[in-house]
Amino acid sequence: MGHEPNHELRRIPPVNELLELPSVLRQAQKWPREAVVDLLRLYIDELRQKVLAGLVQVPDDRTDWDVRLGEFFANWERDLHLRPAINGTGVIIHTNLGRSPLAPLAQAAVSRIAATYSNLEYDLEAGERGSRYSHVEELLTQVTGAEAGLVVNNNAAAVMLVLDTLAKDGEAIVSRGELVEIGGSFRIPEVMKRSGAILREVGTTNKTHLRDYAEAITPETKVILKVHTSNFRIQGFTAGVDRTDLARLAHERGLLLIEDLGSGVLIDLSAYGLPAEPTVQQSIKAGVDIVTFSGDKLLGGPQAGIIVGKGELIRRIKQNQLTRALRIDKMTLAALEATLKLYLAPSLALQEIPTLRMLTEPLEVVEARAQRLAAAIRQTCGEDAVIEVVDDLSEAGGGSLPGTIIPSKAVSLALPWIQPLYLERWLRQQRPPLIARLSQERLLISARTIFDAEIPVIAGLLSKSREVSK
Ligand SMILES: *Cc1c(COP(=O)(O)O)cnc(C)c1O
């Protein structure tokens, strides 16, 4: 009793009618309306082709349309390879999970700039070519106290570019205690080799004195490089040299002092029980000529490499041909500008920038979230499940605040229908994936690194895991 295809096609409702369906309204809460309209058009286009080929019929009624569209949307998102994940690990700046989630204002800034043309490299005043670096330079000077700044693709690029500009074909002096390798094969000695600077190691692994630096200076020396020892900490009998002394030595001998701060914190976090890390402002104030740091570590913004320091040096760095190859894109700039603007009101930055909030959230607040998560899981998984709120430990991650352990809370669970080992793996393969840990035959979900909005999603996933064992 096949329908005649052209007649069948006429039964497709207009797009504005479909926009009223519950599945479409749900999608429109997550996505811009225009994107949802495009998805509808894609669906209708596919449907038409299949109807004309005699493969399917047009959905019969509203309910049928609603179900089919719901499935289509879910599949469309499912097919995107890069997807959101739930971080239940307790590692806040998780490099493998994309480091820092963006503040809501930074997210909004990205979609605003992504959607249309912008003044990225256009000087609206002069009506001619402008500089992409102009958008954040003043903000950078405001929040760091430096004279000038520019931003490149990431901090590895920033270090490379700075050395290439200021130390090429000369020597750079580095303390042996600071010759670090950072995850993902960023090795200071290798980077220096690439940039054409010759490395002069001074001191020993645990101790380097000012005189070690002074004695290493030759006519070939161009810079003294100080590197933040991310990822590890040397404990015990150690000595490093104060920045102010190092800056004085460098300047007396006609050299530059460069510091790779790695994480680049702008707010002193020691008031929140975290170790006192040198802030970018302190480093600049101590007389360091150029400071580099990441945008997506403790700053809590997008992936970027930020370079701040003396105006004359920044000008030379901007003119380096390599800068063009390492340049930052417009979406990143949008996110970075919005993130930096939050720092003009530090208490707001601490609340709105997820990385900072997670790092400084009081234990009671984390515990309350853990209790809400436990209650939600009890509701979906029933009484047979073993669900407890337990003490846990978090860490900053991303090589930031090495060795610092942050007291935290987690939900520990054992579900009667699935082994924890299988559950952990199954959860990673869901949409959205939940990355959790195993500990003593239990699954642990950290309450410090999940968002409140993810609580019902996690409870739903865990309940769905019943189906796996069948
Ligand atoms: C993380 C880090 C880098 C690399 O920064 P990316 O932004 O990941 O490229 C370089 N130096 C130090 C000291 C770091 O901690």
Residue 315 clears pLDDT 70, i.e. is over it? yes
Q: Average pLDDT for residues 253-257, to the nearest whole number?
A: 98
Ligand 1 midpoint to CA 171 (Å): 22
- What is the rounded (10 degree) CA torsion for 239, 243, 245, 251? 140
- Of 93, 88, 97, the closest CA to residue 377 belongs to 88
Instruction: Please say whether the beta carbons of 94 and 183 come within 8 A.
Output: no
C-beta of 260 in contact with ligand 1 (< 6 A): yes
Q: Average pLDDT for residues 452-465, to the nearest whole number?
A: 97
Q: Could you give the CA distance from residue 141 to residue 146 in angstroms, rounded to a whole number?
A: 5
Q: Average pLDDT for residues 131-135, to the nearest whole number?
A: 93
Cα separations in angstroms, 209 against 36, 236, 243, 244, 265: 62, 16, 12, 13, 26
Q: Average pLDDT for residues 89-113, to the nearest whole number?
A: 96
Beta-bridge mates of residue 200 = 173
Residue 470 clears pLDDT 60, i.e. is over it? no
Tell me which residue has its CA closest to atom 14 in ligand 1: 262
Q: Could you give the CA distance from residue 214 to residue 212 in angstroms, rounded to a whole number?
A: 6
**CA atoms within a 13 Å half-sphere pointing along the CA-CB vector of 25:** 5
Query: What's the confidence (pLDDT) of residue 7?
Result: 84
Residue 21 clears pLDDT 90, i.e. is over it? yes
- Max mean pLDDT among 188-202, 396-410, 450-464 falls in 450-464
Q: Average pLDDT for residues 42-61, to the nearest whole number?
A: 93
**Better-scored residue on pLDDT, 409 or 180:** 409
Q: Which atom of ligand 1 is nearest to the CA of 95?
A: 8
Query: What's the confidence (pLDDT) of residue 30?
Result: 85
**Among 258, 294, 326, which is best to mutate for testing ligand 1, by the most ligand atoms less than 8 A from CB?**
294
Ligand 1 midpoint to CA 297 (Å): 9
Tell me which residue has its CA closest to atom 6 in ligand 1: 155
Ligand 1 midpoint to CA 155 (Å): 5
Residue-averaged pLDDT of the chain: 93
Query: What's the confidence (pLDDT) of residue 231?
Result: 64
Residue 5 clears pLDDT 80, i.e. is over it? no
What are the residue ranges spanned by the domains of the chain? 5-78, 86-94+359-467, 102-352
Ligand 1 midpoint to CA 156 (Å): 6
Tens-place pLDDT, residues 266-276: 999 998 989 88
Tens-place pLDDT, residues 108-120: 999 999 989 999 9
C-beta of 399 in contact with ligand 1 (< 6 A): yes
Cα separations in angstroms, 194 against 201, 324, 358, 459: 17, 17, 36, 49
Q: In what order do the strands lie in the sheet with 305-309?
A: 148-152, 305-309, 290-294, 256-262, 221-227, 171-175, 198-202
Q: Which atom of ligand 1 is nearest to the CA of 184?
A: 8
**Among 95, 230, 233, 299, which is best to mutate for testing ligand 1, by the most ligand atoms less than 8 A from CB?**
230
**Better-scored residue on pLDDT, 392 or 5:** 392
Q: Which atom of ligand 1 is nearest to the CA of 304?
A: 7
Q: Categorize the per-residue pLDDT at 332 as very low, low, confident or very high, splitting at 50, 70 and 90.
A: very high
Q: Categorize the per-residue pLDDT at 1 as very low, low, confident or very high, splitting at 50, 70 and 90.
A: very low
Q: Average pLDDT for residues 301-326, to the nearest whole number?
A: 97
Tell me which residue has its CA closest to atom 13 in ligand 1: 262
Q: Average pLDDT for residues 386-410, to the nearest whole number?
A: 93
C-beta of 156 in contact with ligand 1 (< 6 A): yes
In one letter, which amino acid is 231? N
Classify domain 102-352 at the CATH class level: alpha beta
**Better-scored residue on pLDDT, 178 or 216:** 216
Contacts of 234 (CB under 8 A, 6+ apart): 177, 205, 206
**Can you say whether the dihedral through the CA atoms of 415, 421, 422, 425 is positive or negative?**
positive
Q: Categorize the per-residue pLDDT at 53 as very low, low, confident or very high, splitting at 50, 70 and 90.
A: very high
Ligand 1 midpoint to CA 95 (Å): 11
Q: Could you give the CA distance from residue 155 to residue 260 in angstroms, rounded to a whole number?
A: 8
**Better-scored residue on pLDDT, 174 or 468:** 174
86-94+359-467: which CATH architecture? Alpha-Beta Complex (3.90)
- Percent above pLDDT 70 for the chain: 96
| pTM for this predicted structure | 0.91
Radius of gyration of the chain (CA): 27
Ligand 1 midpoint to CA 294 (Å): 6
Q: Average pLDDT for residues 318-342, to the nearest whole number?
A: 97
C-beta of 186 in contact with ligand 1 (< 6 A): yes
Ligand 1 midpoint to CA 182 (Å): 7
**Among 96, 153, 186, which is best to mutate for testing ligand 1, by the most ligand atoms less than 8 A from CB?**
186
